[in-house]
Chains A and B, each alone.
Chain A
């Protein structure tokens, strides 16, 4: 018993000192895998004409810099476009195509297209999930009369399906990109 009492402090000090010997290895960097840095919406006019490309690129992910938005040109009035959306993670090299993942998990995702009230366009879903509810990586857009405003693309993860729109879709936003566009 007595020896235990005498030895214990030394054991404890040894344990403490040895545990203090630290290693100064640098931690590994984390390159985020499932980040979406870039949304590109491409609009090909059904009867031929100029393709419109809308692009939002945010290379610092959740960092402080706002996304860089580019719009290649106006929509032509009275024209219907075949639209498709591509999502990329450009932090990886080569860039990772996230669209594939979204299409694989089609039951858990849905795109929404929201024109501001001043913009006279209509949209329709062209691809659907395995339950027959909208997915929306492919869609059509009809530019009606001459007007201008904003067009917002929203990708919701785990939305309530079916739904009547963003209002009751719920889920959480994976992408939200707003473009200032016009119909000429």
Chain B
């Protein structure tokens, strides 16, 4: 009937509007781009003639009685991207038009009106939204993702913050920045991620190896930083954030600018700088805890539905001072530090950063292209290069005073190709391959024996993930991945160490050259790893859902676990790796429940993670040198069970009042030695009472309370040491965790709207309101000084 009317209309147009020689037809078919199926009831509009028709049951349409000339045509359909094109009509013409339909609908979830793409379907994943990132513009990645329940951090002071996801950190947590797996010497506890959070639009925290696209070794989890989604339209906008902190007299500035064109081309950039001087604990200054960080990134390219191109360059340069009183020599100094309440160095505030300090810079260059194919899906190709240069400076004497003690350059080239097949209704298939080449160079000019040797590493990986909707409210995913790793190192061992480790029996075949007191060796390792992730998501009703996820992941030992050998000056401890260390394998089962009603939002995540051959480092005693004796920390392997629950609860009390709380508990047990696992976060609960007035300049006031319990489950690795200066034996208590603590924080912000798209947000806050003295179990500097005291912050955010 419709078509009949349309035809009649055309007939009239043909007769009355155009007189002569207007008997051409333009016909065709509208198809789904993904599977080639006809699209019914699409609207086809010839704009310059202002005539319409719709496609029939076979997706076909026809315009009759058209004149010669240019037709500007728009094709649209509900839930499809509208397509516009021009046709020059010189005779009867036929054309097939492909519309994009059901774009990644399985992966898109709607959270409070904004669309964010989840990385996984059934894994325990939380997305940190842009407003949280913006209001913590001066913070580190580790501090921001702590807002997710179950995520803690392991710190060296306040500026070196590493994420701990469900008790696991460092090489067990992958950080993905704009689809690039960060390779920034993440193995060390004092090596923080080299990321400027201001370049991210949102951050996904995935517990366990839920997403296999980036690697099968994420036993702890994956942190995915996504840049701002590019909107294809003519637009130019920007944002500047500036902040000031009283504690440490710190300030931060970050500015970003976005430009995109209707044609699909776009460019954007982010530039940031932050610095602070000595931070202050409630009773004294934390000398030499200043830091400086410069970061910049540029992104540009072309984006359309069918194809795209992206170039991304980012650079970050960090200089971080290490608490001067933590720089000790010998076990005696450590005993003194543990037994004294205050650090032995207590000077006035200073902005200068002296040794011991770190200077780390990281450069990332990425080029990526994608293309969508009809009735198939999307193919992407990506190359990236990363250069991580790390210097650690120590207090040294003579001509070596200004020489770094550690000088490591890690370069990584990666190439990956990913394919998403979305032609089938109800399920998508992702698969891909990746290759990586890595070269580590330890500069011998430091004059100090290398902690990490020169090595080359080659990785290959292949994965496939299927996401499917089984029945209406039951979704499932299944993924597998294979990884090949090969490490080829060249390492000098002290002959005495080689023998002490017993390598002369087990590894005599890898000696390349004997230099008398040192041996040059060529350790090579090859690993084949298999990982799996699968799960179910059941939507009980429109408010609640339950999901179950099971994953197997394997992580080969990192260079530090294999090769560490010698005195780590900045930590005053001898760290010993072991060439015999094998990969660790995790079996993780996660069960989650989510409830979302108008008043309540509840998310309960429980997990059981059994790790075979879990690699950990623990103190084993002391070794005596002419400098005195040093605690020795050695890497071991054991089997571990990690069992825990993370809970987050949001409650809308009434009118403008909201309450939320996040809490987590983890039970970690070494099943071989029947001991608690070392360095597990203790029970913690973080609650916020907030008041908001959208009508009053969008006022928000948040009162936050954080309680961290004492970790009562810890392994006792204390030992006795001889103190020469008073000829006695004393206990070195390096195991006992510090007591529980409570912190209160307050913040408020208002927003002024100037004109369209221009607004200013002013925020002020007080952290640690009562200036409480406390120490955190997971801070490596807890032996030496208290954590930071009260801090008042002011931040301005200007959108334009």
Residues of A at under 8 Å CB distance from B?
Answer: 1, 4-5, 8-9, 12-13, 15-16, 19-20, 22, 26-30, 32-34, 36-39, 56-67, 91, 101-102, 104-105, 108, 112, 114, 116-118, 149-150, 152, 154, 157-158, 160, 166, 168, 170, 172-178
Q: In the bound complex, what is the Cα–Cα distance between A94 and B627 (angstroms)?
A: 22
B92 lies within 8 A of chain A by Cβ: no
User: Which B residue sits closest to A117, measured CB to CB?
Assistant: B727
A173-B332, A173-B627 given; A5·B309 CB < 8 A: yes
B398 lies within 8 A of chain A by Cβ: yes
B724 lies within 8 A of chain A by Cβ: yes
Instruction: State how many angstroms separate the Cβ of B195 from the closest Cβ of chain A.
Output: 24
A32-B448, A62-B625, A101-B398 given; A176·B724 CB < 8 A: yes
Q: Which of B333, B367, B447, B500 contacts A64 (CB 8 A)?
A: B500
Instruction: State how many angstroms separate the Cβ of A142 from the closest Cβ of chain B.
Output: 20
A16-B413, A63-B494, A64-B496 given; A114·B517 CB < 8 A: no
Instruction: State how many angstroms separate the Cβ of A29 from the closest Cβ of chain B.
Output: 6
Instruction: State how many angstroms separate the Cβ of B123 from the closest Cβ of chain A.
Output: 30
Known: A27-B444, A104-B398. 4 other contacts (CB 8 A): A27-B490, A29-B520, A64-B500, A105-B398
User: Which A residue sits closest to B515, measured CB to CB?
Assistant: A29
Instruction: Write 25 A-B pairs (CB below 8 A) sorted by A numbering.
Output: A5-B307, A12-B383, A16-B415, A20-B413, A22-B439, A22-B456, A26-B512, A29-B444, A30-B449, A30-B450, A32-B449, A62-B566, A62-B567, A64-B497, A66-B624, A67-B624, A67-B626, A91-B517, A101-B397, A117-B726, A160-B345, A175-B627, A176-B332, A176-B724, A178-B724
Q: In the bound complex, what is the Cα–Cα distance between A165 and B566 (angstroms)?
A: 30
B259 lies within 8 A of chain A by Cβ: no
By Cβ-Cβ distance, the 4 closest A-B pairs, closest first, are A176-B628, A173-B329, A116-B727, A172-B329
Q: CB-defined interface of B492-533 with A at 8 Å, one 1/0 digit per residue?
A: 101111001000000000001101011010000000000000
A105-B397, A152-B724, A172-B395 given; A15·B383 CB < 8 A: yes
B755 lies within 8 A of chain A by Cβ: no
A12-B381, A56-B626 given; A172·B396 CB < 8 A: no
Instruction: State how many angstroms separate the Cβ of A159 from the closest Cβ of chain B.
Output: 10
Q: In the bound complex, what is the Cα–Cα distance between A5 and B371 (angstroms)?
A: 9
Q: In the bound complex, what is the Cα–Cα distance between A16 and B456 (angstroms)?
A: 14
CB pair A173 B490 closer than 8 Å: no
Instruction: State how many angstroms separate the Cβ of B39 from the closest Cβ of chain A.
Output: 27
B-side contacts of A22, CB under 8 Å? 439, 456
B453 lies within 8 A of chain A by Cβ: yes
Q: In the bound complex, what is the Cα–Cα distance between A145 and B183 (angstroms)?
A: 65
Q: In the bound complex, what is the Cα–Cα distance between A158 and B333 (angstroms)?
A: 14
B330 lies within 8 A of chain A by Cβ: yes
User: Which A residue sits closest to B489, measured CB to CB?
Assistant: A27
Q: Which of A12, A108, A118 contacts B397 (CB 8 A)?
A: A108
B446 lies within 8 A of chain A by Cβ: yes
CB pair B626 A29 closer than 8 Å: no
Q: Which of B623, B627, B724 contacts A174 (CB 8 A)?
A: B627
Q: In the bound complex, what is the Cα–Cα distance between A157 and B396 (angstroms)?
A: 9
Instruction: State how many angstroms separate the Cβ of B386 from the closest Cβ of chain A.
Output: 12
Q: In the bound complex, what is the Cα–Cα distance between A153 and B447 (angstroms)?
A: 26
B-side contacts of A104, CB under 8 Å? 398
Q: In the bound complex, what is the Cα–Cα distance between A65 and B623 (angstroms)?
A: 8
B152 lies within 8 A of chain A by Cβ: no
B750 lies within 8 A of chain A by Cβ: no
Number of A-B contacts (CB under 8 A): 173
A170-B345, A172-B395 given; A33·B330 CB < 8 A: no
B725 lies within 8 A of chain A by Cβ: yes
CB pair B626 A176 closer than 8 Å: yes
B154 lies within 8 A of chain A by Cβ: no
Q: Which of B309, B330, B344, B513 contacts A26 (CB 8 A)?
A: B513
Q: In the bound complex, what is the Cα–Cα distance between A12 and B726 (angstroms)?
A: 65
A-side contacts of B495, CB under 8 Å? 60
Instruction: State how many angstroms separate the Cβ of A59 from the closest Cβ of chain B.
Output: 7
B125 lies within 8 A of chain A by Cβ: no
User: Which A residue sits closest to B328, measured CB to CB?
Assistant: A172
User: Which A residue sits closest to B491, measured CB to CB?
Assistant: A27
B574 lies within 8 A of chain A by Cβ: yes
Q: Which of B437, B454, B623, B725 contacts A27 (CB 8 A)?
A: B454
Q: In the bound complex, what is the Cα–Cα distance between A22 and B490 (angstroms)?
A: 13
B-side contacts of A102, CB under 8 Å? 397
Instruction: State how many angstroms separate the Cβ of B251 from the closest Cβ of chain A.
Output: 30
CB pair B497 A177 closer than 8 Å: no
B72 lies within 8 A of chain A by Cβ: no
B-side contacts of A15, CB under 8 Å? 383, 413
Which of the listed residues A22, A34, A39, A116 has the most CB atoms from chain B within 10 Å of its own CB? A34
Instruction: State how many angstroms separate the Cβ of A15 from the closest Cβ of chain B.
Output: 7
CB pair B327 A172 closer than 8 Å: yes
Q: In the bound complex, what is the Cα–Cα distance between A32 and B515 (angstroms)?
A: 14
Q: Which of A16, A20, A29, A108 contacts B518 (CB 8 A)?
A: A29
A19-B413, A20-B437, A66-B624 given; A30·B446 CB < 8 A: yes
Instruction: State how many angstroms separate the Cβ of B715 from the closest Cβ of chain A.
Output: 24
A-side contacts of B400, CB under 8 Å? 33-34
A-side contacts of B345, CB under 8 Å? 160, 170
A-side contacts of B517, CB under 8 Å? 59-60, 91
User: Which B residue sits closest to A101, measured CB to CB?
Assistant: B398
B446-464 residues with Cβ-Cβ distance < 8 A to A are 446-450, 453-454, 456, 458
Instruction: State how many angstroms separate the Cβ of A102 from the closest Cβ of chain B.
Output: 8
Instruction: State how many angstroms separate the Cβ of A92 from the closest Cβ of chain B.
Output: 11
B-side contacts of A20, CB under 8 Å? 413, 437, 458
Instruction: State how many angstroms separate the Cβ of B724 from the closest Cβ of chain A.
Output: 4
CB pair A8 B628 closer than 8 Å: no
